[in-house]
Amino acid sequence: MSNEEGRKIVLRNRKARHEYHILDTWEAGLVLQGTEVKALRAGRANLQDSFARLFNGELWLHNLHISPYEEAGTHFNHDPLRTRKLLLRRQQLRKLVGQVEQKGLTLVPLDLYFSRGIAKVTIALVKGKKLHDKRQDLREKAVERDMERAYKVS
């Protein structure tokens, strides 16, 4: 729930940055119902296993779990795992169609945030990492951490 460039970040998918090589990113609008917006503002959502898929020229977000809003919600509350539409420009969608069709590439959400009161998602085109790539990343982070500690001590 931090502010970056006027953005109120609700969720971050840290696991995605560890599991995948990020090739390209886009900012997409998110079509939500009223109780979903309230639940997001309260921070009740999970991006863990979510992914985006193109269907009939539109981009859809699957497996984004937004918990039902209990305080003011009624029996008309939303389905927590419903498929949600993502809004991109037509040019961006055309570019995505060609890239997603390549073998081994997929679309994964990285961040979910509010920008000027509008729900947005950062979608990334990713390729899965091999186990040795993940280990290499962990080694590099450990070396950076050790260097920072040594710098602070002296």
In the chain, the DSSP E strands lie at: 3-4, 7-12, 20-30, 45-46, 51-55, 58-62, 65-66, 84-87, 105-115, 118-128
Q: What is the pLDDT of residue 154?
A: 67
Task: Give the H or E element holding residue 92.
Answer: helix 90-100
Higher pLDDT pick, 47 / 101: 47
Mean pLDDT of the residues in the chain? 80
Span 23-43, average pLDDT: 83
Q: For 55-69, what is the mean pLDDT?
A: 82
Assigned fold of 3-129: Small Protein B; Chain: A; (2.40.280)
Identify the pLDDT of residue 135: 84
For residue 45, the tally of other CB atoms under 10 A from its CB is 18
pLDDT in tens, 105-152: 888 898 888 888 888 888 888 888 777 777 887 888 888 888 888 888
| pLDDT, position 76 | 64
Query: Six-digit token pair at 20?
Result: 């995948």
